[in-house]
Amino acid sequence: MSEATAQAGATRARAATSRRPGRSWLRPVVLAVLLLVLLVLPLYVEEFWLRTGFAVFGAAVGAIGLNLLVGTSGQLSLAHSFFLAVGAVTYTFVSGESGGLGVADLKGLGWPPLVGMIFGVVVAGLAGLLFSPVAARLRGIYLGVASLGLVFIGLHVLNSWTSVTGGFNGRRVPEFSLFGFHFASRDPQLFVLGIPFREAERLWYLGLVIALAAYLFARNLLRSRPGRALQTLRDSEVAASVMGVNVQAYKARVFMVSSMYAGLSGVLYALSIGSIAPESFGLFVSIQYLAMIVLGGLGSVGGAVLGAAFVTALPLIFQRYAGAIPFVTSAGGSGLAAGEAARYLYGAAIVLVILFLPGGLAGIPQLFRRRRAGPPAGPPSASAPDSSPQSVQSDRPVQRSTPR
């Protein structure tokens, strides 16, 4: 019985090993083709899709950071919109100019936008690090409620600190430039294959590069020793502590990294909408990011990107094609508004994913592979053991062999 079971297990292992090289080249090829499509897409699509894509890239960065915190380490956080606001406000203050039309005493340092972006990421990370002692001592719903307080604190600061944020009316976001190259429709004029590359095209490539860098960093982090420690921490804090993982230190570090991702996402979000206002960083934004990672698949970096694309692009698409979609109307119509219809749709998608696809959108390929492979082969029954002379002869020498 044991010999036959071991032989069957070895056969399945050899079959899996033989299939693995055939699948190893498929993923890199698909990713390379997808990257090539994203690189040439601005040559063929209109401005709406480019601006939608830039918004998706910014949301994907924030979703990856939240997935590292919630999906990988198992810490519930509802404060993601707060750290987005920290990144956006810091960038606007550091790179913005003093003065303004609506508020006479707006403050700004007027530093280069790249410096403002770096400061936005660093300050958001420091804010997460300051909150990390609380996160290290709480878990589950208690951590979620504690982090919720940051959202209300952030809204109060945004409304009250008018010299920096502009108060209720908000503040215009300075345009991004890099070493003299402006990402707005200004000098230098740029043409590629006879097509003018204006603000939408330039921001597309900026968002693509940043999102790709955030994706690769998160993938490498999960494959490293700290990534494995975070996964162990998610499964069991006691087991992680027994294995030598400093639980509180890793909780603090992952909260800081997630906050830095959120700060960078906040900078891109501010660039995509052109202005910051307190209503842009409310609790609903945190709920949206939770929806992204649940839809995409908790613990999956690629799933976070898919969820961000679904949740971010859906309201914009509904708004653009409101007249062609049943029960959806533009502003002032008698049907559902585009934003409300999108919320109903991805709310229903979350329920369906939780019920029927716990792995999220990232788990769909694995589901198809399991169905194609069929049910796993179980061990042979005891009533019909494999007693052929060949199998007995091949197994006996292994049992008789002794280590030298």
When pLDDT is cut at 50, 70 and 90, the band that residue 394 belongs to is very low
**Coil/strand/helix, residue 181:** strand
When pLDDT is cut at 50, 70 and 90, the band that residue 6 belongs to is very low
> What is the DSSP-derived secondary structure letter of residue 298?
T
4 pLDDT above the threshold of 80: no
* C-alpha triplet 252, 254, 258: angle, nearest 5°: 120
Q: Which one has a higher pLDDT value, 340 or 381?
A: 340
Q: Which one has a higher pLDDT value, 389 or 125?
A: 125
When pLDDT is cut at 50, 70 and 90, the band that residue 392 belongs to is very low
* Mean confidence (pLDDT) of the chain: 82
Q: For 284-323, how does the pLDDT look when each residue is reduced to its tens digit (9 = 90+)? A: 999 999 999 999 998 899 999 999 999 999 888 888 887 7
Q: Which one has a higher pLDDT value, 388 or 90?
A: 90
pLDDT of 134 = 86
**Coil/strand/helix, residue 338:** helix
When pLDDT is cut at 50, 70 and 90, the band that residue 136 belongs to is confident
- Percent helix, strand and coil across the chain, each to the nearest 5: 70, 5, 25
11 pLDDT above the threshold of 80: no
pLDDT of 176 = 92
When pLDDT is cut at 50, 70 and 90, the band that residue 272 belongs to is very high
pLDDT of 124 = 96
pLDDT of 331 = 62
User: Burial of 273 by CB count in 10 Å (0-12 exposed, 13-18 middle, 19+ buried)?
Assistant: middle
When pLDDT is cut at 50, 70 and 90, the band that residue 10 belongs to is very low
The pLDDT of 127-136, averaged and rounded, is 89
51 pLDDT above the threshold of 60: yes
pLDDT of 198 = 84
When pLDDT is cut at 50, 70 and 90, the band that residue 338 belongs to is confident
- Please report, as a single letter, which amino acid is at residue 250: Y
C-alpha to C-alpha distance for 258 and 380, rounded to whole angstroms: 48
The pLDDT of 15-44, averaged and rounded, is 74
pLDDT of 62 = 96
> What is the DSSP-derived secondary structure letter of residue 68?
I
pLDDT of 217 = 96
pLDDT of 367 = 73
When pLDDT is cut at 50, 70 and 90, the band that residue 373 belongs to is low
Q: Which residues of 300-324 are buried (b: 16+ CB within 10 A; e: fewer)?
A: bbbbbbbbbbbbbbbbbbbbeebee
22 pLDDT above the threshold of 70: no
The pLDDT of 181-200, averaged and rounded, is 77
Cα distances (angstroms) measured from residue 38 to each of 50, 204, 217: 10, 9, 19
When pLDDT is cut at 50, 70 and 90, the band that residue 85 belongs to is very high
pLDDT of 8 = 47
CA neighbours within 13 Å on the CB side: how many for 173? Answer: 26
In this structure, the number of other CB atoms found within 10 A of the CB of residue 330 comes to 14
The pLDDT of 383-387, averaged and rounded, is 45
C-alpha to C-alpha distance for 86 and 158, rounded to whole angstroms: 10
Beta pairing partners, 328: 336
133 pLDDT above the threshold of 80: yes
The pLDDT of 203-223, averaged and rounded, is 94
CA neighbours within 13 Å on the CB side: how many for 388? Answer: 6
216 pLDDT above the threshold of 80: yes
Q: For 154-167, how does the pLDDT look when each residue is reduced to its tens digit (9 = 90+)? A: 999 999 998 899 88
C-alpha to C-alpha distance for 199 and 219, rounded to whole angstroms: 30
pLDDT of 139 = 83
**Coil/strand/helix, residue 201:** helix
pLDDT of 244 = 85
C-alpha to C-alpha distance for 274 and 364, rounded to whole angstroms: 36
